[in-house]
Structure 1
Protein backbone atom coordinates (compact mmCIF):
# COMPACT_ATOMS: atom_id res chain seq x y z
CA UNK A 1 0.00 0.00 0.00
CA UNK A 2 2.74 2.46 -1.00
CA UNK A 3 3.86 4.86 1.73
CA UNK A 4 0.43 5.46 3.23
CA UNK A 5 0.76 2.80 5.92
CA UNK A 6 4.12 4.20 7.02
CA UNK A 7 2.64 7.69 7.08
CA UNK A 8 -0.34 6.41 9.12
CA UNK A 9 2.00 4.73 11.62
CA UNK A 10 4.16 7.86 11.86
CA UNK A 11 1.11 10.07 12.38
CA UNK A 12 -0.34 7.74 15.00
CA UNK A 13 2.96 7.72 16.91
CA UNK A 14 3.22 11.51 16.75
CA UNK A 15 -0.33 11.96 18.00
CA UNK A 16 0.30 9.52 20.86
CA UNK A 17 3.62 11.06 21.89
CA UNK A 18 2.92 14.75 21.48
CA UNK A 19 -0.81 14.47 22.16
CA UNK A 20 -0.17 12.86 25.53
CA UNK A 21 2.29 15.62 26.42
CA UNK A 22 -0.16 18.33 25.36
CA UNK A 23 -3.04 16.77 27.29
CA UNK A 24 -0.95 16.40 30.45
CA UNK A 25 0.16 20.03 30.25
CA UNK A 26 -3.29 21.35 29.36
CA UNK A 27 -5.42 19.53 31.92
CA UNK A 28 -5.38 21.34 35.20
CA UNK A 29 -6.91 18.80 37.51
CA UNK A 30 -5.62 17.83 40.97
CA UNK A 31 -5.97 14.17 40.03
CA UNK A 32 -3.36 14.55 37.28
CA UNK A 33 -0.97 16.05 39.81
CA UNK A 34 -1.46 13.24 42.32
CA UNK A 35 -0.96 10.43 39.79
CA UNK A 36 1.72 10.24 37.10
CA UNK A 37 0.72 9.52 33.50
CA UNK A 38 2.34 6.08 33.87
CA UNK A 39 0.30 5.37 36.99
CA UNK A 40 -2.91 6.46 35.24
CA UNK A 41 -2.05 4.23 32.28
CA UNK A 42 -1.45 1.35 34.69
CA UNK A 43 -4.86 1.89 36.30
CA UNK A 44 -6.45 1.87 32.85
CA UNK A 45 -4.67 -1.38 31.93
CA UNK A 46 -5.69 -3.04 35.18
CA UNK A 47 -9.27 -1.96 34.53
CA UNK A 48 -9.22 -3.42 31.00
CA UNK A 49 -7.60 -6.68 32.12
CA UNK A 50 -9.76 -6.96 35.30
CA UNK A 51 -7.03 -8.91 37.13
CA UNK A 52 -3.44 -8.87 35.95
CA UNK A 53 0.06 -9.92 37.02
CA UNK A 54 2.91 -7.47 37.44
CA UNK A 55 4.74 -9.33 34.65
CA UNK A 56 1.87 -8.70 32.25
CA UNK A 57 1.83 -5.01 33.23
CA UNK A 58 5.56 -4.80 32.48
CA UNK A 59 4.92 -6.19 29.00
CA UNK A 60 1.92 -3.92 28.38
CA UNK A 61 3.76 -0.80 29.53
CA UNK A 62 7.00 -1.89 27.85
CA UNK A 63 9.13 -1.29 30.93
CA UNK A 64 11.31 -3.33 33.26
CA UNK A 65 9.63 -5.13 36.16
CA UNK A 66 11.41 -2.84 38.63
CA UNK A 67 9.54 0.18 37.21
CA UNK A 68 6.28 -1.74 37.55
CA UNK A 69 7.12 -2.69 41.15
CA UNK A 70 7.68 0.95 42.00
CA UNK A 71 4.37 2.00 40.44
CA UNK A 72 2.53 -0.83 42.17
CA UNK A 73 3.98 0.16 45.53
CA UNK A 74 2.82 3.77 45.09
CA UNK A 75 -0.65 2.73 43.91
CA UNK A 76 -1.00 0.30 46.83
CA UNK A 77 -0.12 3.14 49.23
CA UNK A 78 -2.85 5.27 47.63
CA UNK A 79 -5.24 2.31 48.07
CA UNK A 80 -6.35 2.31 44.42
CA UNK A 81 -5.17 -1.25 43.71
CA UNK A 82 -4.92 -4.46 45.72
CA UNK A 83 -3.43 -7.91 45.40
CA UNK A 84 -5.70 -10.94 45.12
CA UNK A 85 -4.82 -14.61 44.98
CA UNK A 86 -5.03 -16.45 41.68
CA UNK A 87 -7.99 -18.80 41.83
CA UNK A 88 -6.72 -21.84 39.97
CA UNK A 89 -3.45 -22.31 38.10
CA UNK A 90 -0.59 -21.08 40.23
CA UNK A 91 -1.82 -20.16 43.70
CA UNK A 92 1.46 -18.40 44.45
CA UNK A 93 0.87 -15.91 41.69
CA UNK A 94 -0.60 -12.64 42.91
CA UNK A 95 -2.98 -10.75 40.69
CA UNK A 96 -3.64 -7.03 40.82
CA UNK A 97 -7.08 -5.48 40.58
CA UNK A 98 -8.58 -2.04 41.13
CA UNK A 99 -10.17 -1.16 44.42
CA UNK A 100 -13.45 0.74 44.53
CA UNK A 101 -11.38 3.90 45.09
CA UNK A 102 -9.26 3.01 42.05
CA UNK A 103 -12.38 2.65 39.92
CA UNK A 104 -13.58 6.08 41.09
CA UNK A 105 -10.21 7.68 40.33
CA UNK A 106 -10.15 6.11 36.86
CA UNK A 107 -13.73 7.22 36.11
CA UNK A 108 -12.88 10.76 37.20
CA UNK A 109 -9.73 10.77 35.06
CA UNK A 110 -11.63 9.41 32.04
CA UNK A 111 -14.24 12.16 32.40
CA UNK A 112 -11.62 14.91 32.60
CA UNK A 113 -9.80 13.48 29.58
CA UNK A 114 -12.98 12.96 27.54
CA UNK A 115 -14.20 16.50 28.29
CA UNK A 116 -10.85 17.94 27.20
CA UNK A 117 -10.62 15.88 23.98
CA UNK A 118 -14.28 16.63 23.16
CA UNK A 119 -13.64 20.37 23.47
CA UNK A 120 -10.46 20.09 21.40
CA UNK A 121 -12.09 18.01 18.67
CA UNK A 122 -15.32 20.03 18.53
CA UNK A 123 -13.26 23.02 17.45
CA UNK A 124 -11.38 21.17 14.68
CA UNK A 125 -13.12 17.91 13.71
CA UNK A 126 -16.60 17.46 12.22
CA UNK A 127 -19.05 14.62 12.92
CA UNK A 128 -18.28 12.77 9.70
CA UNK A 129 -14.56 12.75 10.50
CA UNK A 130 -15.27 11.42 14.00
CA UNK A 131 -17.36 8.62 12.47
CA UNK A 132 -14.51 7.77 10.06
CA UNK A 133 -12.04 7.75 12.95
CA UNK A 134 -14.28 5.41 14.97
CA UNK A 135 -14.78 3.06 12.02
CA UNK A 136 -11.05 2.76 11.41
CA UNK A 137 -10.11 2.32 15.07
CA UNK A 138 -12.84 -0.25 15.68
CA UNK A 139 -11.55 -2.20 12.69
CA UNK A 140 -7.94 -1.96 13.92
CA UNK A 141 -8.99 -3.12 17.39
CA UNK A 142 -10.79 -6.14 15.89
CA UNK A 143 -7.78 -7.00 13.72
CA UNK A 144 -5.39 -6.76 16.66
CA UNK A 145 -7.63 -8.90 18.89
CA UNK A 146 -8.06 -11.48 16.11
CA UNK A 147 -4.31 -11.81 15.82
CA UNK A 148 -4.11 -12.86 19.47
CA UNK A 149 -2.63 -9.62 20.77
CA UNK A 150 -4.82 -8.40 23.55
Structure 2
Protein backbone atom coordinates (compact mmCIF):
# COMPACT_ATOMS: atom_id res chain seq x y z
CA UNK A 1 0.00 0.00 0.00
CA UNK A 2 1.23 3.49 -0.82
CA UNK A 3 2.32 5.02 2.52
CA UNK A 4 1.63 8.61 1.45
CA UNK A 5 -1.85 7.75 0.23
CA UNK A 6 -2.52 5.80 3.42
CA UNK A 7 -1.46 8.82 5.48
CA UNK A 8 -3.63 11.11 3.35
CA UNK A 9 -6.68 8.90 3.90
CA UNK A 10 -6.03 8.76 7.65
CA UNK A 11 -5.64 12.54 7.82
CA UNK A 12 -8.81 13.04 5.80
CA UNK A 13 -10.70 10.78 8.24
CA UNK A 14 -9.30 12.73 11.20
CA UNK A 15 -10.31 16.07 9.70
CA UNK A 16 -13.85 14.83 9.06
CA UNK A 17 -14.19 13.18 12.48
CA UNK A 18 -12.63 15.86 14.68
CA UNK A 19 -13.76 18.75 12.52
CA UNK A 20 -17.39 17.69 12.65
CA UNK A 21 -17.22 17.12 16.39
CA UNK A 22 -15.47 20.44 17.04
CA UNK A 23 -17.88 22.43 14.92
CA UNK A 24 -21.01 20.88 16.39
CA UNK A 25 -19.69 21.04 19.98
CA UNK A 26 -18.67 24.69 19.67
CA UNK A 27 -21.95 26.02 18.36
CA UNK A 28 -24.55 27.64 20.45
CA UNK A 29 -26.91 28.42 17.62
CA UNK A 30 -30.64 27.86 17.49
CA UNK A 31 -30.35 25.62 14.42
CA UNK A 32 -28.46 22.99 16.46
CA UNK A 33 -31.19 22.99 19.07
CA UNK A 34 -33.95 22.46 16.51
CA UNK A 35 -32.28 19.84 14.29
CA UNK A 36 -29.92 16.95 14.88
CA UNK A 37 -26.63 16.78 13.01
CA UNK A 38 -28.02 13.79 11.09
CA UNK A 39 -31.07 15.80 10.02
CA UNK A 40 -28.87 18.72 8.93
CA UNK A 41 -26.61 16.37 6.99
CA UNK A 42 -29.68 14.88 5.31
CA UNK A 43 -30.90 18.34 4.31
CA UNK A 44 -27.43 19.17 2.93
CA UNK A 45 -27.38 16.01 0.80
CA UNK A 46 -30.86 16.66 -0.56
CA UNK A 47 -29.89 20.26 -1.33
CA UNK A 48 -26.86 19.16 -3.35
CA UNK A 49 -28.89 16.50 -5.18
CA UNK A 50 -32.02 18.62 -5.79
CA UNK A 51 -34.06 15.46 -5.17
CA UNK A 52 -32.94 12.00 -4.15
CA UNK A 53 -34.29 8.52 -3.52
CA UNK A 54 -34.53 7.29 0.05
CA UNK A 55 -32.21 4.38 -0.83
CA UNK A 56 -29.48 6.64 -2.21
CA UNK A 57 -29.86 8.94 0.81
CA UNK A 58 -29.48 5.97 3.16
CA UNK A 59 -26.36 4.90 1.29
CA UNK A 60 -24.81 8.38 1.47
CA UNK A 61 -25.56 8.68 5.19
CA UNK A 62 -24.43 5.14 5.90
CA UNK A 63 -27.68 4.10 7.57
CA UNK A 64 -30.63 1.78 6.96
CA UNK A 65 -33.61 3.11 5.01
CA UNK A 66 -35.70 2.98 8.20
CA UNK A 67 -33.47 5.70 9.70
CA UNK A 68 -34.08 7.83 6.61
CA UNK A 69 -37.81 7.21 6.95
CA UNK A 70 -37.77 8.39 10.58
CA UNK A 71 -35.73 11.49 9.73
CA UNK A 72 -37.94 12.20 6.75
CA UNK A 73 -41.10 12.09 8.88
CA UNK A 74 -39.65 14.53 11.41
CA UNK A 75 -38.43 16.92 8.71
CA UNK A 76 -41.71 16.66 6.80
CA UNK A 77 -43.62 17.54 9.97
CA UNK A 78 -41.46 20.67 10.24
CA UNK A 79 -42.22 21.53 6.61
CA UNK A 80 -38.66 21.10 5.34
CA UNK A 81 -39.01 18.16 2.92
CA UNK A 82 -41.59 16.71 0.59
CA UNK A 83 -41.87 13.82 -1.83
CA UNK A 84 -41.97 14.20 -5.59
CA UNK A 85 -42.62 11.67 -8.33
CA UNK A 86 -39.62 10.23 -10.11
CA UNK A 87 -39.36 11.03 -13.80
CA UNK A 88 -37.57 7.73 -14.49
CA UNK A 89 -39.65 5.33 -12.38
CA UNK A 90 -43.40 5.85 -12.40
CA UNK A 91 -43.71 4.11 -9.02
CA UNK A 92 -40.67 5.84 -7.52
CA UNK A 93 -40.76 8.66 -5.03
CA UNK A 94 -37.94 11.10 -4.41
CA UNK A 95 -37.25 13.43 -1.50
CA UNK A 96 -36.93 17.15 -2.19
CA UNK A 97 -36.53 20.28 -0.07
CA UNK A 98 -39.32 22.76 0.40
CA UNK A 99 -38.61 26.50 0.35
CA UNK A 100 -38.37 26.36 4.15
CA UNK A 101 -35.90 23.47 3.83
CA UNK A 102 -33.74 25.55 1.48
CA UNK A 103 -33.84 28.38 4.04
CA UNK A 104 -32.62 26.06 6.81
CA UNK A 105 -29.79 24.75 4.60
CA UNK A 106 -28.77 28.33 3.77
CA UNK A 107 -28.75 29.27 7.45
CA UNK A 108 -26.74 26.13 8.31
CA UNK A 109 -24.21 26.87 5.56
CA UNK A 110 -23.81 30.43 6.78
CA UNK A 111 -23.24 29.35 10.38
CA UNK A 112 -20.71 26.69 9.33
CA UNK A 113 -18.92 29.08 6.97
CA UNK A 114 -18.52 31.76 9.63
CA UNK A 115 -17.09 29.25 12.07
CA UNK A 116 -14.71 27.61 9.59
CA UNK A 117 -13.62 31.03 8.34
CA UNK A 118 -12.45 31.95 11.83
CA UNK A 119 -10.42 28.76 12.09
CA UNK A 120 -8.95 28.80 8.58
CA UNK A 121 -8.10 32.48 8.15
CA UNK A 122 -5.92 32.50 11.25
CA UNK A 123 -3.81 29.49 10.29
CA UNK A 124 -3.72 29.26 6.48
CA UNK A 125 -2.03 31.29 3.78
CA UNK A 126 -4.02 32.17 0.63
CA UNK A 127 -1.81 29.84 -1.43
CA UNK A 128 -2.57 26.95 0.96
CA UNK A 129 -6.29 27.55 0.56
CA UNK A 130 -5.88 27.59 -3.23
CA UNK A 131 -3.99 24.28 -3.10
CA UNK A 132 -6.64 22.79 -0.82
CA UNK A 133 -9.36 23.83 -3.28
CA UNK A 134 -7.46 22.37 -6.23
CA UNK A 135 -6.99 19.02 -4.51
CA UNK A 136 -10.55 18.80 -3.19
CA UNK A 137 -12.07 19.76 -6.56
CA UNK A 138 -10.08 16.97 -8.15
CA UNK A 139 -11.03 14.49 -5.41
CA UNK A 140 -14.69 15.49 -5.68
CA UNK A 141 -14.67 14.91 -9.44
CA UNK A 142 -13.01 11.52 -9.02
CA UNK A 143 -15.43 10.38 -6.31
CA UNK A 144 -18.51 11.57 -8.21
CA UNK A 145 -17.31 9.85 -11.38
CA UNK A 146 -16.60 6.63 -9.47
CA UNK A 147 -20.07 6.74 -7.90
CA UNK A 148 -21.66 7.14 -11.34
CA UNK A 149 -19.93 3.96 -12.58
CA UNK A 150 -21.63 1.79 -9.98
How far apart are 1:107 and its partner, in Å? 0.3
What's the secondary structure of 2:52's corresponding residue? Answer: coil
Per the normalisation by structure 2, the TM-score is 0.94
1:147 is the counterpart of 2:146 = yes
How far apart are 1:2 and its partner, in Å? 3.6
CA RMSD of aligned residues (A): 1.4
1:51 is the counterpart of 2:51 = yes
How far apart are 1:145 and its partner, in Å? 2.5
Structure with more of its chain in helix, by fraction = 2
Q: 1 CA distance for matches of 2:115 and 2:139?
A: 24
1:135 is the counterpart of 2:141 = no
How far apart are 1:123 and its partner, in Å? 1.3
Which consecutive residues of structure 1, in runs of 5 or more, have no partner in the other structure?
Answer: none
Q: 1 CA distance for matches of 2:123 and 2:132?
A: 14
Which consecutive residues of structure 2, in runs of 5 or more, have no partner in the other structure?
Answer: none
Q: 2 CA distance for matches of 1:92 and 1:28?
A: 42
Could you say which residue in structure 1 is the equivalent of 2:118? 119
Q: Could you report, residue by residue, the CA deviation over 1:23-69 in whole angstroms, capped at 9, with x for unpaired residues?
A: 00112110111111111110011111111111111111110111111
Per the normalisation by structure 1, the TM-score is 0.94
Could you say which residue in structure 2 is the equivalent of 1:3? 3
Q: 1 CA distance for matches of 2:61 and 2:111?
A: 22
Could you say which residue in structure 2 is the equivalent of 1:81? 81
Q: 1 CA distance for matches of 2:148 and 2:117?
A: 29
1:108 is the counterpart of 2:111 = no
Give the length in aligned residue pairs: 149
Q: 2 CA distance for matches of 1:73 and 1:142?
A: 32
